[in-house]
Copies of this chain bind each other. A is one copy, B any other.
């Protein structure tokens, strides 16, 4: 009977996958206010200087700092209030020695003023104020261009837009930006035993297709647009037809199930028959070792195995990085990486020559992050459900001892952030 003859290391598989993809990320122009989470397809160079003039950081009084040089609690300096400058206001006037302007936070300093004395530090008497200490040039002033200078590159191509970025973009009057179009990801579930109808799933011989919901949510969390394309039976011609059809429409296709080389595992065969430019079936990672990919007409098809932990593993290492890449992000297999100590030894005995993906729960003990790991059958949903993140045991390593520090990888969608 057939078996996978050769397993490819993850590093090599990902390298082959990335280098053989030939589709270009598309670009669209969108409103900045709707750009949260999108990825810039252009450098943002400011056409504005912010603040446009020296600006008061606090409510107070704009002064020439030299006027305050001799001020002491016992011998305050008196200045005459010449007028009021509100937030955002600019006064053409020039401050003379001995004068001050009442100024509010965000108001621009008049010429001749180089410091702001906070209101709490003065005594106001009618049209005059008393200052009781020395203020340095620049004190409580946000200088012209301190935030942004005209011509400055604020954000680079490939940058993912966060909440604060939207604020700054609008502040520099950038209301529309170029971002990468979200990649459209087709999802095909393969297996004659599967059903999408919960009622049918009550009968023996039919299994509810739950994996597709998991993969859809993961694709969405990664910034892709998932499209579930329905079930395909274990029939070579049917699988071939549906793959070809899907590749015409979507940027990438994910198949779930039928990834191995058993009699009813036909996805690999169907891909082979379409003369892929590159193909890998079998990965040196467990769970996930029957996963793989093919690149056809420059587009990637990722084969996700049917056991849920293998499904998510192949998704994590092959699909997630590519969904990132198609949006202009770096193709890494995680969102955040942290470090934590193991609370007990982590042992595994099988597939020692393989990289091992271990699901873990992060718990804080005395303010220190610790991980609880569970190695169990790859068909168990409960392992993933009781986890936040994953760790990797390198090839050839049998055991990680209790108390060892390891890298913990969080991934959007899987991790309870």
Chain A: how many interface residues by the 8 Å CB criterion?
Answer: 93
Question: A12-20, A294-302, A376-384: which one contacts chain B?
Answer: A376-384
Give the residue name and chain of the B residue nearest to A415 (CB). B162
For A384, the chain B residues whose CB sits under 8 A away are 164, 168
CB-defined interface of A138-162 with B at 8 Å, one 1/0 digit per residue?
0000100011100000110001101
The answer to whether the Cβ of A335 comes within 8 Å of any Cβ in the partner chain is yes
Interface contact B380-A171, CB-CB below 8 Å = no
Question: Contacts A88-B193, A163-B217; is A168 near B385 (CB within 8 Å)?
Answer: yes
Give the contacting residue for A175; candidates B50, B198, B412; CB below 8 A.
B198
The answer to whether the Cβ of A414 comes within 8 Å of any Cβ in the partner chain is yes
Question: Contacts A264-B104, A339-B338, A385-B154; is A86 near B205 (CB within 8 Å)?
Answer: yes
Give the contacting residue for A218; candidates B1, B163, B338; CB below 8 A.
B163
Interface contact A217-B308, CB-CB below 8 Å = no
For A263, the chain B residues whose CB sits under 8 A away are 59, 119
Give the residue name and chain of the B residue nearest to A1 (CB). B119
Question: A65-73, A93-101, A206-214, A243-251: which one contacts chain B?
Answer: A206-214
Interface contact B170-A208, CB-CB below 8 Å = yes
- A154 and B90 alpha carbons, distance in the complex (Å): 63
Interface contact B413-A162, CB-CB below 8 Å = yes
For A207, the chain B residues whose CB sits under 8 A away are 87-88, 106
The answer to whether the Cβ of A393 comes within 8 Å of any Cβ in the partner chain is no
Interface contact A417-B163, CB-CB below 8 Å = no
For A220, the chain B residues whose CB sits under 8 A away are 36
Interface contact B210-A167, CB-CB below 8 Å = yes
- A45 and B250 alpha carbons, distance in the complex (Å): 39
Which A1-39 residues have C-beta < 8 A from chain B?
A: 1-3, 33, 36
Q: Tell me the smallest distance from the CB of A55 to a CB of chain B, in Å.
A: 7
- A3 and B119 alpha carbons, distance in the complex (Å): 9
The answer to whether the Cβ of A312 comes within 8 Å of any Cβ in the partner chain is yes
For A88, the chain B residues whose CB sits under 8 A away are 193, 204-207
Give the contacting residue for A163; candidates B51, B104, B170, B414; CB below 8 A.
B414
Give the residue name and chain of the B residue nearest to A32 (CB). B213
The answer to whether the Cβ of A105 comes within 8 Å of any Cβ in the partner chain is yes
- A42 and B375 alpha carbons, distance in the complex (Å): 28
The answer to whether the Cβ of A394 comes within 8 Å of any Cβ in the partner chain is no
Interface contact A210-B171, CB-CB below 8 Å = yes
Q: Tell me the smallest distance from the CB of A315 to a CB of chain B, in Å.
A: 10
The answer to whether the Cβ of A306 comes within 8 Å of any Cβ in the partner chain is yes
Question: Contacts A170-B210, A206-B88, A213-B167; is A146 near B377 (CB within 8 Å)?
Answer: yes
Give the residue name and chain of the B residue nearest to A364 (CB). B337
Q: Tell me the smallest distance from the CB of A76 to a CB of chain B, in Å.
A: 15
In the A-B complex, the 4 residue pairs with the closest CB atoms = A87-B193, A163-B217, A59-B262, A338-B338
**Can you add 17 more A-B contacts, CB < 8 Å, to A146-B380, A166-B213, A167-B381?**
A33-B213, A36-B217, A36-B220, A50-B381, A57-B379, A105-B260, A147-B381, A148-B382, A162-B385, A162-B413, A162-B414, A162-B415, A162-B416, A163-B218, A164-B308, A164-B414, A171-B210
